[in-house]
């Protein structure tokens, strides 16, 4: 079985390396491509778009699926793209995946709670993205780098990208009940960029025959949105990915493969 591993916004396949190495060691073929505009110049990154990432993810999945079952996996933006591809498969636009693994995947950029609102700054995102599409941001501090290594476009934040993703999320949320493949959700409890309610919402709304929800604790106050590379969680997350891949592989062996 093959595994398609999709990285996050502004990042790189580095985020998925611990999973790719563990899956390869377990006998699976792991593919962790760079999304369009990532891994190159800032100009190329800023010129990329959610539509290009979505088309790329679907095309990569379709290409791998031609030769056998595929486990779809994604971190953050990659998780959104994996959900989109699984929903396209449910609508008959692509062949179905063997399973779906989402890691720190946001379904809301802001959400009402009693007495307060999480992610309130995103209420003005369309206006900010129009006034100032890209922002310069400071580099990560040494403590964050040590807790959770990361590689990507560190000093540029493209608000237009966030606005495009936010516009796509309502359709992703609406079509979650279409997903009827085994699902594994991994989330750090301390993630302030993608709070745990996203994981609970995904688990409740999908129609997966089997759902595994893992909320992991880390002691460090840094790197809460990087479960795949965090020093305290990366081995556990990789082990969970391997265990889930083995589970869906056994399930696909019992079924006739349909290209």
Instruction: Identify whether the C-beta of residue 102 lies closer than 8 Å to the C-beta of residue 76.
Output: no
> How sure is the predictor about 128, in pLDDT bands with cuts at 50, 70 and 90?
low
- Please state whether beta strands 134-136 and 183-188 pair in parallel, antiparallel, or not at all (unpaired): unpaired
pLDDT of 137 higher than 90: no
pLDDT at position 129 is: 59
pLDDT of 64 higher than 60: yes
pLDDT at position 125 is: 61
Instruction: For 35-50, write each residue's pLDDT tens digit.
Output: 999 988 999 999 999 9
Structure tokens of 76?
């953050």
For 196, other C-beta atoms within 10 Å of its C-beta total: 16
Instruction: For 70-101, write each residue's pLDDT tens digit.
Output: 999 999 999 999 999 999 999 999 999 999 99
> How sure is the predictor about 173, in pLDDT bands with cuts at 50, 70 and 90?
very high
Helix H or strand E encompassing 75: strand 70-75
Instruction: For 93-120, write each residue's pLDDT tens digit.
Output: 999 999 999 999 999 976 544 444 445 4
For the chain, the C-alpha Rg in angstroms (whole number) is: 17
Structure tokens of 65?
């699926």
- Please state whether beta strands 134-136 and 156-158 pair in parallel, antiparallel, or not at all (unpaired): antiparallel
Backbone angles phi, psi at 45, to 5 degrees: -65, -50
Instruction: Identify whether the C-beta of residue 231 lies closer than 8 Å to the C-beta of residue 220.
Output: yes
Which of 54-68, 109-123, 140-154, 215-229 bottoms out in mean pLDDT, i.e. has the lowest? 109-123
Give the separation between CA 233 and CA 7, rounded to whole angstroms. 17
Helix, strand, coil fractions of the chain, as percent rounded to 5: 45, 15, 40
User: What mean pLDDT is reported for the chain?
Assistant: 90
For 31, other C-beta atoms within 10 Å of its C-beta total: 19
Residues 2-253: name the CATH superfamily. Alpha/Beta hydrolase fold, catalytic domain (3.40.50.1820)
Helix H or strand E encompassing 86: helix 77-90
pLDDT of 56 higher than 50: yes
- Torsion sign over Cα 233, 237, 238, 239: positive
pLDDT of 179 higher than 60: yes
> How sure is the predictor about 165, in pLDDT bands with cuts at 50, 70 and 90?
very high
Give the separation between CA 235 and CA 23, rounded to whole angstroms. 12
Give the residue extent of every domain in the chain.
2-253
Q: What percent of the chain has pLDDT over 90?
A: 74
pTM: 0.91
């Amino acid at each position: 079985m093959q595994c398609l591993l999709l990285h996050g916004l502004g990042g790189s396949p580095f985020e998925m390396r611990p999973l790719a190495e563990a899956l390869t060691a377990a006998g699976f073929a792991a593919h962790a491509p760079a999304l369009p505009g990532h891994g190159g110049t800032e100009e190329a990154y800023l010129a990329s778009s959610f539509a290009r990432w979505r088309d790329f993810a679907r095309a990569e999945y379709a290409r791998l699926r031609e030769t056998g079952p595929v486990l779809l996996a994604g971190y953050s933006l990659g998780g959104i793209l994996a959900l989109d591809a699984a929903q396209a498969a449910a609508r008959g636009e692509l062949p179905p995946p063997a399973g779906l693994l989402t890691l720190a995947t946001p379904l809301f950029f802001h959400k009402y709670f009693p007495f307060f609102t999480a992610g309130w700054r995103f209420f003005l995102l369309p206006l900010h993205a129009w006034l100032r599409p890209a922002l310069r941001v400071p580099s990560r501090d040494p403590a964050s780098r040590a807790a959770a290594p990361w590689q990507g476009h560190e000093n540029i934040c493209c608000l237009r990208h966030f606005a495009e993703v936010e516009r796509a999320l309502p359709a992703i949320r609406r079509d979650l009940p279409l997903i009827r493949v085994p699902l594994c959700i991994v989330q750090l409890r301390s993630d302030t960029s993608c709070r745990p309610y996203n994981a609970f919402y995904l688990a409740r709304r999908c129609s997966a025959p089997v759902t595994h929800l893992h909320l992991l604790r880390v002691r460090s106050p840094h790197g809460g949105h990087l479960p795949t590379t965090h020093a305290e969680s990366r081995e556990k997350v990789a082990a969970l990915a391997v265990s889930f891949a083995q589970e869906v592989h056994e399930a696909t062996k019992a079924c006739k493969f349909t290209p």
